[in-house]
Amino acid sequence: MSSLIIERPLPHGGRLVERVVRDKEAAKKMIKGCPTYDIKPTLHYETGVPVRNVYREIMSICYGFFSPVEGSMKQAEVERILKERRLLNEWIFPYPLVFDISKEDYKKLGVGSGDRLVLNLKGKPFAILDIEEVWEIDNPEELAHKTFGTPEDNPEVVRERFNKKHPGWVIYRSLNPIVLAGKYTIINEPKMRPPFDRFWFPPRKCREEFDKRGWRTVINHQTRNVPHVGHEFLMKNAAYTGDVEPCHGILVNAIIGVKRRGDYPDEAIVEGHEAVNLGGYIKPERHLPTICLWDMRYGNPLESLLHGIIRQNMGCTHHMFGRDHAAVGEYYDKWSTQILWTKGIPSFGFPKPPTDVPYGLSIRPQNMREFSYCPTCKEMAYSETCGHKREKLSGSFLRGMVAEGVQPPAIIMRPEVYKAIVKWWKHFNYPFCNEKYVINKEKELEVDLEDL
C-alpha cells in the first residue's frame, strides 16, 4: 500500500457521540416522575419571529454530528469557547451551544443541578436534559459580539461590527437568560418527514454507507442552495483531489434549519441535489446528498470550522470551501475561511490552521474558486485556469430568472434540477421561502414524533 493513501479520519474527539435510547420501555422508566418542559423556538429579540429551534441542536448533538459535544454547555465551557474556541476537554469547537429558558419558566419549573428534565417536542416526549449546572447570561449582546468577533479583537478577519442585520448574531442576542447545562439524551427517536427521511445519514449510518460503497476518500460539498451547473462542476472537479486517485465519493451535506425569505425551500434543495445524480451528471454511485439540522449562524470562518467537524464526524477526508463561505453581508473578509485553513487566525485561538493545532481536525480543506461558462472555451471553465472573459452566474440572477418563469438553459441549470424547483413551487405556490413558508416550517419542523 502506498504511504500516500489517506484513511478515513476518526470522529472529532476520537469517538462518535451517540445519545439515543431506542428501547421504549427503558425510556419510559428513565423519565418517570421527571418534570417536563415544552421546547419553544428562540424568538427574535425585537420582532418576535422564530430564529432558532434548539431541537435541531439536540438532534445534531445526540446523533454525533457535533461530536464530542454532548449537551448544553456550562458557563466555563462557553467562556473558554469565546476565548480560544476549545471545549473543556481540549477539542476545538467554534460556537457556544446552550439550552436557554426564560426566568419565568425557570421559576415555574423549579429545577436545579442534579435534576432530569424531560423535553417535549410537538407535544410528545423527545429528549432528556440531565442538569449539571444552572447559569445566567448577563449580557446577550456581549455574548453575541464575542461569539462572532469584533474588528478590534479579531482584526485578521472581522471587517465590520456585527449588528441585527446578521442572522447569527440575532440568534445569540435573542437567547433567554437562564441556561440549563448538561447532557442531552434522545429518548423518543423522531421520524424525519419526507423528503428529508431519504437524506438522513447521521454519522454512524453515513460511515456505514461509505463502507458499503467502498468509499475511502470522500469530499464534502456544503450547501444551502439548489445546485446550478457551476456547483456541479465545482463538486466534480474538487473531487479530483484525493490521494493516489480522485476522491471515491462526493458527499453533499445540506444544512437544514430556520430559513430566510428568498432562500430556496429545503425540500427543493435536497431534491435538487438528488436530481444531479438521478440525471447522471454525477453518477449516483459517486454522489450522496444528505442533511444536517442546524440553524445557520453565518459565521464564515467559524461556520467553516463547524462544517469541518460535522463532515469529519460523517467520515469525510476532504472538505471544499469557497469564497464567502457561509457568509452574509461583509462582516468578515471574504477569504476568512481560507485564511483560517491555510494560516490560522490567532485571535480566535488558532495560531496555526485547525488541522495543525493540538486536539484539532484531520479533515483536509480544499479551497476552491469558481466555475463559470466560457464562450471561448465553450465549456464551464475554472476561474484560475481559463484566461478568457467568462459569463459569471450569480445566484440572484438565477433566482430572478426562475421567478419570472423562464426555464434556465441546461448549461446553467440541469432540467432535472429545475423540475425539482417547480415541483415544490407547485406545492408551496411559491418558488422561494416566503413568510408563510418560514412561519409554517418553524411550526411543523422536519420531524414527527410518536407517543412514547
Partner 1 sequence: MAYFMVVLLDDNRFAKIKGTELEEKVQYMFGGELRCLNVEVSEEMKDKILQEFDTARIDSRGAITDVPVAFLRELFNQVAEKKSLGSEVIEAVLAKSSEIKELAAKESEYLPAPEI
Binding site for Zn ion (CB under 5 A): 374, 376-377, 381, 386, 388
Q: Which does 343 bind (CB under 5 to 8 A by kind): Zn ion, partner 1, none?
A: none
Radius of gyration for the alpha carbons in the chain, expressed in angstroms and rounded: 22
Which residue, 183 or 399, is less far from partner 1 as judged by CB? Answer: 399
Least separation, in Å, of the C-beta of 266 and partner 1? Answer: 18
Which residue, 149 or 272, is less far from partner 1 as judged by CB? Answer: 272
Q: How far is CA 429 from CA 47, 405, 425, in A?
A: 26, 13, 5
Binding span for partner 1 by CB under 8 A among 70-78, 191-199, 311-319, 402-410? 402-410
Region label for 149, one of left (φ > 0), alpha (ψ between -120 and 50) or beta (otherwise): left
Binding residue count for partner 1, defined by CB under 8 A: 33
Least separation, in Å, of the C-beta of 444 and partner 1? Answer: 19
Least separation, in Å, of the C-beta of 236 and Zn ion? Answer: 18
- Establish if 392 lies at the interface with partner 1 (CB under 8 A): yes
- Establish if 407 lies at the interface with partner 1 (CB under 8 A): yes
Cell 443541578, residue located: 113
Which residue, 381 or 393, is less far from Zn ion as judged by CB? Answer: 381
Least separation, in Å, of the C-beta of 378 and partner 1? Answer: 6
Question: Cα 55 to the chain's mean position, in Å?
Answer: 14
The single residue among 35, 151, 262, 346 that binds partner 1, judged by CB under 8 A, is 262
- Establish if 343 lies at the interface with partner 1 (CB under 8 A): no
- Establish if 268 lies at the interface with partner 1 (CB under 8 A): no
Site for partner 1 in 411-440 (CB under 8 A): 411-412, 418-419, 422, 425-426, 429-431, 434-436
- Establish if 400 lies at the interface with partner 1 (CB under 8 A): yes
Q: Which does 381 bind (CB under 5 to 8 A by kind): partner 1, Zn ion, none?
A: Zn ion
Least Cα distance to 154 among 89, 92, 94, 66 occurs for 94
**Cell triple for residue 128?**
432528556
C-alpha dihedral (298, 300, 301, 307), degrees to nearest 10? 60
Which residue, 111 or 421, is less far from partner 1 as judged by CB? Answer: 421
Least Cα distance to 439 among 39, 50, 46 occurs for 50
- Establish if 401 lies at the interface with partner 1 (CB under 8 A): yes
The single residue among 193, 394, 448, 450 that binds partner 1, judged by CB under 8 A, is 394
**Cell triple for residue 316?**
469525510
Q: Which does 397 bind (CB under 5 to 8 A by kind): partner 1, Zn ion, none?
A: partner 1
Positions that interact with partner 1 (CB under 8 A):
262, 373, 375, 378, 391-392, 394, 396-397, 399-401, 403-412, 418-419, 422, 425-426, 429-431, 434-436
